Amino acid sequence: MLSSPEEIRTSFAKHNFIVDRSVSTVVYLAVRLGRPLLVEGPAGVGKTELARVLALVSGRELIRLQCYEGLDESKSLYEWNYQKQLLRIYTDQSQCRSWEEIRQTIYTEEFLLERPLLRALNAGNETVLLIDEVDKSDEEFESFLLEILSDYQISIPELKTISAKHIPIVVLTSNNFREFGDALKRRCIHLYLDYPDFEQELKIVRLKVPGIQEELAEKIVAFVQEVRRIKLKKAPSIAETLNWAEALLELKVTELDSEVFQSTAGVLLKYRSDIEQVAAQGPHLQQS
């Protein structure tokens, strides 16, 4: 399924995920070299989607770990099911077992809560492990992650060392929220995913908003492409282009003028100040 860049590109396209050749080449290389794929780029260009589609086309299960500040091993790797262990100790009490006996019963897989990282290592099938927004986690977590992504094994002191049965395809995403570790980056294959260019975004609009008039689609995409050049609080993502196109289609708009923009801008832009800025400095629209 992932045997050449071209094949990746066509199978991605079958799932309505359009990428250019260089993107598929990088994905192919990460898979073949067995390296984590670090996807960076602005919000809304499809970084998470890429991992999802990669799992779909390779027939692998997608395991997702969402990062946030304060994420630690107990939430990402494993945790002992403390309450269940207590219950067990409680029910065993009457039988007057020794501590050694109790210890052996409560530190078993039955009482282990698998979190995404352990689940990916332990999985019987091949998986795609998505570590989303890794830049939001803290440094401590990062170095711990680096260790796992180097050996693909972890040791649970009370239990055993677990090595991955199948090395997962690992995809990390980052919005550059924070500069993160050099060492982790060096381990990865780097993919910079940017907003699509005009041709590509037009292709995406045609594909996802069938029934839209060619001329209108072109105008919408050209407009959005221009808007992204303006420094805004939040530049429109691909999804927002699509939502806007759908809205305009629904409203049976044929001409993109300033009135249409004013009345639908909320679909495309999420901040009042952004809307005002685009109205003032944005691409020229005809007065209606």
Given the rule CB under 8 A, which residues bind another protein? 5, 21-22, 25-26, 28-30, 32-33, 35, 38, 40, 176, 182, 185-192, 194, 231, 280-281
Q: What are the φ/ψ torsions at residue 62 (nearest 5 degrees)?
A: -95, 120
Query: Least distance in Å: CB of 107 to another protein?
Result: 37
Strands 78-80 and 112-114 come out as antiparallel
- C-beta atoms surrounding 75 within 10 Å: 18
Which stretches does DSSP call E strand in the chain?
A: 37-40, 61-66, 78-80, 112-114, 127-132, 153-156, 160-163, 169-174, 189-192
Distance in Å, CB of 197 to another protein, minimum: 9
The span from the CA of 5 to the CA of 8, in Å, is: 5
Closer residue to another protein in complex, CB, 38/118: 38
Between 14 and 229, CB nearer to another protein? 229
Q: How far is the CB of 16 from another protein (least distance, A)?
A: 23
Q: Which is nearer to another protein, 116 or 236 (CB)?
A: 236
Closer residue to another protein in complex, CB, 103/178:
178
Q: Which is nearer to another protein, 10 or 281 (CB)?
A: 281
CB of 245 to another protein, least distance (A): 24
- How are beta strands 37-40 and 153-156 bridged, if at all? unpaired
Least Cβ distance, residue 146 to another protein (angstroms)? 13
DSSP conformation class of 286: B
Task: Give the whole-angstrom CA distance, residue 15 versus residue 63.
Answer: 19
